[in-house]
């Protein structure tokens, strides 16, 4: 199912949570809403779910206007950060809930429900745990139950609000892969909210980056990383060294730092350089190496400029030895934005 969001606005009191958001989500897509806290990403997700209603704008499922349809009527699957499992029910009853509450001829037979629950338990690799109570499960297992509960109603769209936020790093990683696998197996259009860029870039087909209630950029993970359209995106997605300075005649200058900036408009500007885009170059600006930390195949270098500012360089581990004392650096790639 495709979802269209058209100039949606939402205010909480005097605080604008969404300021005119438009977004198209394609059938079967896995989209991440990425942004810092307070950027409106959760509000947007809740508007799509029908748990929150916009002040203006429209939400369309396929071509049907659902802006003010209730959550129950939309047939969406929603997964909460804190799982929101029904504590007084077993795992199987939790998963069956969406089918159990159906009425009349929509309600599947008991046998059918049991079959469906078993199928879902298998899908999330919890076979045999149907009789447990949620309190007997680990956090990761609880979130799997929440996921299969949401999938049980065969939702038209699966919405996840910081689904891995409450879990520790190892479980997060494995659940991330799991979500991708479940998405590929079911083909359901999926939108998830996260503030973890690694999660968004690794998992999603497309990433929408939100800031202060607006979408700053939307695109494939490598697009938002390699071609950021705004200083915010550049600073938020991926690591970046940030310099304030001036651009003039295709050069960006900030104290001792001089960078090639072809095509940048003259005047005050902000430049971003990714740590892995800084390379050793005899023609470059100089910096002093403060510390080299080797991590897996990479070497993270902390360098200090002549004026005391720090910057980060990432190099191949094999080159770690070349970073000592005074070095000269140049940037392979620079993102320059006019200041303001």
Partner 1 sequence: MTADTVLAPRKRPVAARPPRRPLFRRRSAIPGFGLTLGVTLTLLSLIVLIPLSAVALKAAQLSPHEFIAVAFSQRALAAYRLTFGAALVAALINGVFGVLTAWALVRYDFPGKGVVNALVDLPFALPTAVAGIALATLYAPNGWIGAYLTPLGVKAAYNPIGVVIALTFIGLPFVVRTLEPVLRDLSADVEEAAASLGASRLATIARVVLPALAPAWMTGFAMAFARGVGEYGSVIFIAGNMPYKSEIAPLLIIIQLEQYEYQAAAAIALVMLAVSFLMLFVINAVQAWARRYS
Footprint of partner 1 (CB under 8 A): 49-51, 70-72, 74-78, 80, 82, 84-90, 97-98, 100-102, 133-135, 146, 149-150, 152-153
Please identify, using beta-carbon distances, which residue of 70 and 324 lies nearer to partner 1. 70
Comparing CB distances to partner 1, the nearer of 18 and 150 is 150
Least Cβ distance, residue 82 to partner 1 (angstroms): 6
Q: Largest Cα–Cα distance in the chain? A: 78
Q: Please list, residue by residue across 181-208, b when 16 or more beta carbons sit within 10 angstroms of its beta carbon and e when fewer do.
A: ebbeebebbbbbbbbbbebbbebbbbbb
Minimum CB separation of residue 155 from partner 1 in Å reads: 8
Element (H, E) at 93: helix 91-100
Q: Which residues does 136 contact at the CB level (< 8 Å), separation at least 6?
A: none
In whole angstroms, the minimum distance from the beta carbon of 324 to partner 1 comes to 50
The residue among 217, 207, 172 whose CA lies nearest residue 30 is 207
Residue in 220, 109, 94 with CA at minimum distance from that of residue 147: 94
Question: Toward partner 1, which CB reaches closer, 56 or 136?
Answer: 136
Q: Which three-class secondary structure string do you get for 70-88? A: CHHHHCEEEECCCCCCCCC
Minimum CB separation from partner 1 for residue 75, in Å? Answer: 7
SS3 326: strand
Name the minimum Å distance from CB 42 to partner 1.
12
Task: Rank residues 74 and 300 by Cβ distance to partner 1 and give the closer one.
Answer: 74
State which residue, 95 or 233, has the beta carbon closest to partner 1. 95
Shortest separation between residue 199's beta carbon and partner 1, angstroms: 21
Six token digits for residue 211: 């800031």
Q: In this structure, what token pair is assigned to residue 291? A: 């510390």
Give the rounded distance of the alpha carbon of 113 from its chain centre: 34
Return the number of the residue (70 or 174) whose C-beta is nearest partner 1: 70
């Amino acid at each position: 199912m495709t979802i269209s969001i058209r100039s949606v606005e939402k205010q909480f009191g005097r605080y604008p949570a969404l300021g005119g958001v438009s977004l198209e989500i394609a059938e079967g897509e896995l989209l991440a809403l990425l942004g810092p806290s307070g950027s409106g990403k959760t509000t947007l997700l809740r508007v799509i779910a029908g748990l929150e209603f916009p002040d203006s704008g429209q939400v369309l499922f396929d071509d049907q206007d659902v802006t003010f349809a209730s959550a129950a009527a939309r047939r969406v699957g929603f997964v909460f950060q804190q799982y929101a499992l029904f504590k007084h029910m077993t795992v199987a009853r939790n998963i069956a809930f969406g089918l159990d509450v159906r009425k009349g001829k929509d309600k599947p037979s008991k046998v059918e429900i049991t079959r469906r629950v078993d199928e879902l338990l298998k899908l999330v690799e919890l076979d045999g745990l149907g009789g447990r109570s949620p309190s007997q499960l680990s956090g990761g297992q609880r979130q799997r139950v929440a996921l299969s509960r949401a999938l049980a109603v065969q939702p038209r769209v699966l919405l996840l609000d910081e689904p891995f936020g409450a879990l520790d790093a190892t479980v997060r990683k494995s659940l991330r892969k799991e979500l991708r696998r479940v998405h590929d197996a079911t083909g359901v259009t999926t939108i998830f909210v996260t503030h973890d860029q690694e999660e968004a870039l690794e998992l999603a087909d497309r990433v929408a980056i939100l800031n202060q209630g607006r979408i700053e950029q939307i695109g494939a993970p490598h697009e938002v990383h390699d071609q950021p359209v705004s200083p915010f995106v550049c600073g938020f997605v991926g690591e970046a060294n940030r310099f304030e300075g001036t651009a003039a005649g295709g050069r960006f200058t900030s104290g001792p730092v001089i960078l090639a900036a072809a095509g940048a408009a003259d005047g005050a500007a902000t430049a971003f350089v990714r740590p892995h885009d800084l390379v050793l170059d005899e023609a470059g600006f100089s910096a002093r190496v403060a510390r080299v930390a080797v991590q897996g195949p990479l070497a993270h270098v902390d360098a200090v400029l002549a004026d005391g500012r720090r910057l980060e360089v990432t190099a191949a581990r094999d080159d770690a030895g070349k970073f000592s004392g005074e070095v000269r650096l140049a940037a392979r790639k620079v993102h320059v934005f006019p200041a303001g």
